[in-house]
Each structure stands twice: as structure tokens, then as C-alpha cells.
Structure 1
Amino acid sequence: MVPHWVDGAPYTGSGTTTSPVTDPATGEVTGRVALADVADVQAAVASAKAAFPAWRDLSLTRRTRILFRFRELLEERKSELAELITAEHGKVLSDALGEIGRGQEVVEFACGAAHLLKGSMTENASTNVDLHSIRQPLGPVAVITPFNFPAMVPMWFFPLAIAAGNTVVLKPSEKVPSAANWMAALWAEAGLPAGVFTVLHGDRVAVDELLVHPDVEAVSFVGSTPVARHVHTTASRHGKRVQALGGAKNHMVVLPDADPDVAADAAVNAGFGSAGERCMAVSVVVAVGPVADSLVPRIATLAARVRTGDGRRGCDMGPLVTEEHRDRVAGYVAAGEREGARVVLDGREVRPDGEAGGFWLGPTLLDHVKPEMSVYTDEIFGPVLSVVRVDTFDAALDLVNANLYGNGACVFTSDGGAARRFEREVQAGMVGINVPVPVPMAYYSFGGWKNSLFGDTHAHGTEGVHFYTRGKVVTTRWPKRATPGLDLVFPQND
């Protein structure tokens, strides 16, 4: 049984509902995770609220030392965490280590809290009047994360929230619960006081209670667009700050002057890494003009070499996270075929290096996909790459910009003018120029446009620091002696 983590220790809670934890490479149920009831949520938030005053008042120097210690412990033991991720998510070990490394970048960024939280000061802004600004923490905050990155996505949020002086209640996906508990234990070993980092496992009962709980000051969420919209609407209505990152349909535009070998390699790596279960995965290749005739065979040849199997056996791509999700993704392939797309490479026929009970679907390539097909319109979240053929660069831009999602987009070209135009005109929050997965470094912010983001604030970077703090401006004057009498005129600067 995977318990919650409350008040610095494992916590069984009062909830009686559990959910199976499954190894996707074997189909075996390896354990169960406790699902929180309303009383468990209240206990978790109460612990975070009680821990907040002392953590807020701890000096930045001491808070930063704990962050540095967490970073060092994470670096020493990341292979343990990677094994947990592979066992519950299914991604190959090298990919699990990669996600930990990208999450660790945010931890390292948060170690600069003393600089990130600095205010500003203006002396003598008016005669004998000084102004200065400060940033202060909010209080208990909730972080609700998906199954596809059990370590990295939580680390987009909680390092900055904790560094800024907040306390955190993390609600990870119940499909991949163990990584969150492992990180909670690591925080405790690093010296983080009890209650500053809490792990609450659960389903919609736990999520909905966090969204309305009066002591939760802010909510960070990553997941599907319908749920992101619900999170944003509900939490905002209850007076909370919200950053809700939703779904994606990331396009890779390939112009005729691009190197087809480079573009094909990028499409395969970006489309099939982590079995396509990435919010920044390339799911649509937009081939402009004649480039498709040379590009599609190259992609098919490379994708056919991808070795699908158990992530602990040195394979290139692992299984999908659940049997239901695998069947859903396979259903989109069948729908695309019925609607007229050409199946160039069929992952439903894969022969995996793994147990027969695993949730397997190999790399799949569909050509001649049309914008009205469900395989194009819907976020599939699996190893399915669709090729849409257009005649011109203008048509490619129009296609990308007409899509409901705007998480990421990239262009492959050797033409600087075309690249600059794409950068300026494409309606997406993260843009790659000859880079297929343009995930920003931790000191920039991560987030999309349109139905890929609800709320104005992106994750990590400067926007993340501002999300977890409130600004305050202080005006100071020290008069030599009191000035008697009334003066009801609006104050003027002089």
C-alpha cells in the first residue's frame, strides 16, 4: 500500500478507497495506493497551514541550504527514482533519468532564491520619501500533476514554491504515486520541516476539495484541457490564483529547403520518445510542398528501427501507461485508417521485447491526414505521428494557428527569413527553430497559448517566482517633526 505523506511521515488516512498500481511492461498489479477522502484533504492542508508561519519566517539563507541539500541528495540517488518511474510509468530508464535531470534544473534555479526574491528600492522618490518593494509568500499551495512525468512536472512547481516560503500539498497522479513519496522522504532527509511538503494521493474527490478549500491560496495544475478548464474555473471562483496547463497538439513544419534526414530524425525522436506521452511531443508533421515524398519514407525507416519493450531491458520505447489508454490510442489509429489516412507504419502489429501482458503499441505513422480527421483534431497522447501535406508556407502557418491548442510548434528550414516569420507569427507559447521539442530552461517559463493554458502565468522561470509570491510596495518618510493641521488633498510627489 502506498500511503500519503503528511506532517513529515507516511500517513494512512481515513479514506477507504484505493486504486491499483500497475507495471505497464508486464500488466501486473504491483500494489495499491490510498485515495484521500475529504477528511484526508483537510488533514493535509491543516498540516501545511500549521507549518507555514515558521517556514515563511525562516531566513532565506537557511531555506536555501535545505534546497541545496535536496539537490545534492537527488543527484546522488536519482537512479533509485528513475527505477520507480520506469516501474510505474513504463518509460525507459534513460528517459526517466532525463526527466529527473530537467526537473533538477528547476531545483537548481530555486537555489538562487536569495536573488530571485530580491525587491527594489528608490531613494528620495519624493522629497524625503523612499520607496521599496518586497515579495512575500502566499501560504499553503496545491500542485496537481499528471502521470507522464512523475518527477519533472512536480519539480516545475514545488522547488520555487518552497524556496519562496510557501508550503506545498502535492497531488500526483494515482497511476504513478511512488515517485512523490520518494521525493517527500528526500526532502525530510534534507532537513525540510514537517508539513512544508505534503503528498496527498487521490482522485477527483481530492482534487475538487483542494480547489475549494479556504486555506489553499493557489493551485498549479497540469493535465488534459477539459480538466484544466474545470480546475481554473472552480479555483478562480473560490478566489485562488491558478495556473492550469492543458493539452497540446504540437506541429512540426518542414519546409522544402530543410535537410530531410535531420527533419526525419527529429520527428522520430520528438514523436515517439516516452511513447508519445509528452505534452511537448510532436504529433503532427506539416510537410510543405514536395518535401513529403522524401520525408515520409525516411521517418518510416527510422521509426521501424525503434525497439519497443520493457524499459529495464535497454529498449528505445516502453509501453503506454495503462491498458485502457493503449486501447484508446489504438482506436485513433483505426479511426484514421477508416477516415482515409494511409497507415505507413502500424504500431498495433509491434512485437515487443517484453511480457505479453504489457500495454504495447509501437511507433505508428499516418500519412495523408486531413485536418477534419479525429487523429488530427484530438490530443492522442501516444506514439502516433500524423503527416499533413500542404502546398505553401502560408498554408502551414494557417493550419497551425487554426488549431485549438498552442502549446509548442517548431519549424525546420535553412531559410532565416522563413524562420523569423514563423517565430513572430505562429500562435504557440513555445517555439523551436530546427529544435523539435522546445522545452525552455528553468530560468525561462514553460507554458502555451489558447486551450493549452488557463490563467496568465506559466511554470517556473520569473513567472513561477511571481506566481508563488505577492508583491508589496512600501512608501517611507521620517519627518523631523509632526506637521499639525488637516490636509485632505491627494498626496503629490515633489
Structure 2
Amino acid sequence: MRNIDHFIAGLPFASGERQGDVFNPSEGAVQAQVRFGSAADLEKAVAAAREAFPGWAATNPQRRARVMFNFKALVEANIDDLALLLASEHGKVVADAKGDVQRGLEVIEYACGIPHALKGEYTIGAGPGIDVYSMRQPLGVVAGITPFNFPAMIPMWMFGVAIACGNTFILKPSERDPSVPVRLAELMKEAGLPDGVLNVVHGDKEMVDAILDHDDIRAISFVGSSDIAQYIYSRGTANNKRVQAFGGAKNHGIVMPDADLDQVVNDLAGAAFGSAGERCMALPVVVPVGDKTANALRAKLIPAIEGLRVGVSTDPDAHYGPVVNAAHKAKIESYIQMCADEGGELVIDGRGFSLQGHEEGFFIGPTFFDHVKPTFRSYREEIFGPVLQMVRAPDFESALKLPSEHDYGNGVAIFTRNGHAAREFAARVNVGMVGINVPIPVPVAYHTFGGWKRSGFGDIDQHGPEGVRFWTKNKKITQRWPDGSATGENAFVIPTMG
């Protein structure tokens, strides 16, 4: 059976008595074992990163950018193999896996422009003979802890900007699908990255806690569930680290009476059920405004959902594949039962779905509920599966209130032809990322990504200019070159620039 090792100082590192199973979700069978590292294994990675830092930080930004250019070309050349490997461990279909890789590459493209992004500010003549300027400098050894649902995109979101800024990086990917992150590190080395600048360690909570507690790790970026995000943020900041921790979501799609329902149905099918709903930016709640809108939308949704094709990850005709493992499948099914018990109308039940020849796979059919109430626990919590809940709203204000008052505040979308309604909604909704006729409003790489409330902990978002801010510290320099004529008579008075 294949073993997945750590990647430290540019080489595979086989350490760790404990191991975890890596499944093929389409088959329901174990395909590999990943090593679970210890604090001692982390120490080796930190030592490698610490040793590599001075040389990498001193490398000029243009040369760091060239490594990113090379890496981008290598990933593009290997994208088919990366997508197949990703799909085999995650379960998402290959086309979606390619999208996972491509969205990560968009941040790498942004990182290729790091010489411009790192430029500081300069003021000539801020005072008599005095100039003031600033420079952004790397933090040192930093780390990223990434989730199973985007094993290519989110690691690249993190290490791309961090490394381009001059930091050295330790990546702890999900133990559920760890092969692609290791392969990305190998490609970074092939692109010319010095050994020790990017290291990959595997493990569970023991490894996470070791990262949170290590004195030499200056900053941590995390994506995962909200409870763990809060834990990461609290423990990391208590240890004087800079932390950004992004959590769960319950994104809403508001459907106004004037919306193009055919387009809405098409968008909802992809946003709610794509990748089996295992996305923090999925759209699992639809909120039609008015019963007339709700009834018309429901009539169009049912045949569209029933027509979705669930298949193995390599099926080119499948709309989505299996969920990641048996435990997650059981959790999703428990939420389906919970929503039914709470009084939701189970219009389409995806439980019991079986794919001929793949009966042991972790498949769940698309599920649709109507008449879900905001008081339901199944509405308040993240299901993270192929389940769409319809919550009917009598008017615009009621629809606006639902995402604004929900504990999560990651993303939201409104579907309408009315510019005033869209503008009002975007300005007032209490959510971090807003789509107007865009079902999954993930900003492009040169903007920034991050949710509000229990969807995000910390003050700085991911990638784009915010990412550069997170992975650097700002140094301010005030300089004067005296000509020898100074009298020094005001030496004991606080200096001003008058």
C-alpha cells in the first residue's frame, strides 16, 4: 500500500508511528496510509525553514517571482495528473478538481507580481531635510493548516503569497487527501525553490497543537470548521502569533420576484450540489421572496435536481461525485433526518443512493427541503453536503434579515433584475462576500477572500493585498542627512515636521 510521507528540506521524510487511512471515496476503500507526525517531526521542519529563511528573505523579489512563474508553468503542465490524484482522494469529479487547481493558480499569478505588491511608500521633504519611507519585510517561519475540500487551491492561496513575500512555510494539509499538497511542494522545488522554504507535515490534532505552540512559527493561516477556527485563533494568538482563521458557512441565495428563474435554477444546481456541497462557498439555502416566487421556483427546481447525475470522480458526465469519507456521509444523512424531524418538507431524499458497481462508495443523492424555518437546528448549522434548504420569505426585509442575523457570514447572493434592490442588499447585508446574480461570489485573486462573524476570526483576509499585509510586517524609516549646520538647541523637544 502507498505511504504518504512528510516533505521536509526538499526530501520525503518517513517518520511517525501513527498513520491515517486515505480513502478512494468512489470505491469506499483505503488506497494509502499517511504518516501522522509528532512535535519532534515538526521541529525538523521548523529547523529546515529557519535555516532557509535568511537566504530566501534576502533573495530579491524579482527572483522570488521567477520561481512562482516556473511553478505556474509546471502546475499547468501537470494539471491533468494533479486533477486525477486530487479526485481520487477527495471524490470531486475531475473537471471540478481542475477548477480547484486553477483557482489556486490564480493566486500564484498574483504572487508573480510580488515586486510591485511589496513596494513601500516614500515622502520626500516630510520635514526640513527629512524623508520618510516604509518597507514590507517577511515575518520568518510561517504555517498554513488547510482543509480537505480544496487540497490544491487553499494551500496555494496560502503559501503562494507567503513565500513570494520572503517567508519560509510549513504546510499541514488535511489528512484526508494529502497527496496533492505534497506534489505541489515537489513542483515548487522543481521550479527552483530552495530546500527548506516549503515543507509539508502531516497529522491530526497533535500536529496542529505543535504548530500553534511552536515559538519560532510567527503566523498561521487556517481554513476549516468554525469551532476549530475559533480554537486555532484563540490558542495561536495566546502564543503571540499572527492568526487568520476561516470557518464554516451557511450561504443564502435570495431570489427576488423579478429574477430569471431559469438562470437561478441553473446557478443553484451548481452552487448547491457541485462538489457534493463540500464547499464553504456553496449555496445550501435558497430564499425566494413571496410564495408565488417560491412555488414557481420549486416547480423548476424539482426536475432540475432529479436530473442531476451522481457518479464516480472520473465520470465525465457526472455533475458531482461521492463525499470524502463514510463518517462525513453519516453526518450529512443525520442532518437530513434532523431537518425532516424538525418539520421540513423532504421533497427529494438523497439517502440510500447506490451506484451500480460502486456500492461501497460514499455517495449521497441530491436532497431538497422546502418550508424550512430559521428556528431549525439544521438551518442554523453547516451541513456541508448535497442538501438544499428552501426558506420562504414574505418580503425583501425578511429575506435580508435571514443571512444578516445568521451566525455565519461567509457569502450571500441575490438574484434580481432590479439594480436598486441589489444595491440596497449589498450595502446592508451583514455578510463578508456578496454576489449579485453570481451564486458563488469568491473574489478574484487580486482582491481578497474572507467572511464575517463565525466564518472568520482575525482582522486580515486571504490573498490579494490583504494577503501581502498578513504575511509581512511594515517597517517605517525616517531619515535625515545633516549638512553639519545643525545647532542642536531643540534636541530635548519632541521632533515635529513643521
Which TM-score band applies after superposition, normalised by the shorter structure? over 0.9
Q: Distance in 2 between matches of 1:353 and 1:234?
A: 47
Q: Does 1:376 align with 2:373?
A: no
State the partner residue of 2:448: 445
Amino acid at match of 1:285: V
Is the 8 Å Cα contact of residues 21 and 176 (structure 1) preserved in structure 2?
A: yes
Is the 8 Å Cα contact of residues 308 and 353 (structure 1) preserved in structure 2?
A: no
Q: Distance in 2 between matches of 1:492 and 1:38?
A: 50
State the partner residue of 1:271: 272
Is the 8 Å Cα contact of residues 135 and 469 (structure 1) preserved in structure 2?
A: yes
Is the 8 Å Cα contact of residues 74 and 186 (structure 1) preserved in structure 2?
A: yes
Matches within 5 A, 1:228-247: 228-247=229-248
Q: Does 1:400 align with 2:403?
A: yes
Give per-residue Cα distances to partners, 1:350-409, cap 9 Å, x unaligned.
343651110010110000101111220110000000000110110011111110000000
Displacement of 1:481 in angstroms is: 1.2
Q: Distance in 2 between matches of 1:269 and 1:300?
A: 14
379-388 or 350-359, which moves further after superposition?
350-359
State the partner residue of 1:493: 497
Amino acid at match of 1:404: D
User: Which structure 1 residue ranges, 5 or more long, are not aligned?
Assistant: none
Q: Distance in 2 between matches of 1:382 and 1:454?
A: 23
Displacement of 1:275 in angstroms is: 0.1
Amino acid at match of 1:479: P
State the partner residue of 2:77: 76
Q: Distance in 1 between matches of 2:302 and 2:8?
A: 49
Q: Distance in 1 between matches of 2:452 and 2:170?
A: 27
Amino acid at match of 1:182: R
Displacement of 1:452 in angstroms is: 0.4
Residue 66 to residue 296, structure 1, CA distance change in 2 (3 Å): same
State the partner residue of 1:254: 255
Amino acid at match of 2:441: P
Q: Distance in 1 between matches of 2:431 and 2:471?
A: 24
State the partner residue of 1:431: 434
Amino acid at match of 1:390: A
Q: Does 1:418 align with 2:424?
A: no
- Matched position secondary structure for 2:391: strand
Amino acid at match of 1:101: Q
State the partner residue of 2:293: 291
Q: Distance in 2 between matches of 1:482 and 1:39?
A: 59
Is the 8 Å Cα contact of residues 406 and 448 (structure 1) preserved in structure 2?
A: yes
Q: Distance in 1 between matches of 2:331 and 2:497?
A: 65
Is the 8 Å Cα contact of residues 369 and 386 (structure 1) preserved in structure 2?
A: yes
Q: Does 1:347 align with 2:355?
A: no
User: Which structure 2 residue ranges, 5 or more long, are not aligned?
Assistant: none
| Number of residue-to-residue matches in the alignment | 493
Displacement of 1:244 in angstroms is: 0.3
Residue 318 to residue 353, structure 1, CA distance change in 2 (3 Å): farther
Give per-residue Cα distances to partners, 1:100-139, cap 9 Å, x unaligned.
1111000000000110000121111111111111100000
Is the 8 Å Cα contact of residues 310 and 354 (structure 1) preserved in structure 2?
A: no
State the partner residue of 1:467: 470
Give per-residue Cα distances to partners, 1:202-253, cap 9 Å, x unaligned.
1000001101100000000000000000000000011110010011000000
State the partner residue of 1:152: 153
Displacement of 1:147 in angstroms is: 0.2
Amino acid at match of 1:493: M
Pairwise CA RMSD of aligned residues?
1.0
State the partner residue of 2:101: 100
State the partner residue of 1:363: 366
State the partner residue of 2:325: 322
- Matched position secondary structure for 2:231: helix
Amino acid at match of 1:313: D
State the partner residue of 1:313: 315
Amino acid at match of 2:13: Y
393-402 or 227-236, which moves further after superposition?
393-402
Task: Give the TM-score normalised by the residue count of structure 2.
Answer: 0.98
95-104 or 345-354, which moves further after superposition?
345-354
Q: Distance in 2 between matches of 1:352 and 1:313?
A: 12
Q: Distance in 2 between matches of 1:259 and 1:27?
A: 40
After the TM superposition, which parts of structure 1 deviate over 3 Å for at least 4 consecutive aligned residues? 482-486
Give per-residue Cα distances to partners, 1:136-162, cap 9 Å, x unaligned.
000010100000000001111111000
Amino acid at match of 2:295: D
Amino acid at match of 2:391: V
Displacement of 1:299 in angstroms is: 1.3
Q: Distance in 1 between matches of 2:92 and 2:245?
A: 25
Displacement of 1:485 in angstroms is: 5.1
State the partner residue of 1:6: 8
Give per-residue Cα distances to partners, 1:398-451, cap 9 Å, x unaligned.
111110000000100111111001000011111000110000000010000111
State the partner residue of 2:176: 175
Q: Does 1:389 align with 2:388?
A: no
Q: Distance in 2 between matches of 1:359 and 1:406?
A: 29
- Matched position secondary structure for 1:86: helix
Q: Distance in 1 between matches of 2:156 and 2:357?
A: 30
- Matched position secondary structure for 1:389: coil
Q: Distance in 2 between matches of 1:353 and 1:109?
A: 44
- Matched position secondary structure for 2:92: coil
State the partner residue of 1:124: 125
Q: Distance in 1 between matches of 2:352 and 2:21?
A: 28
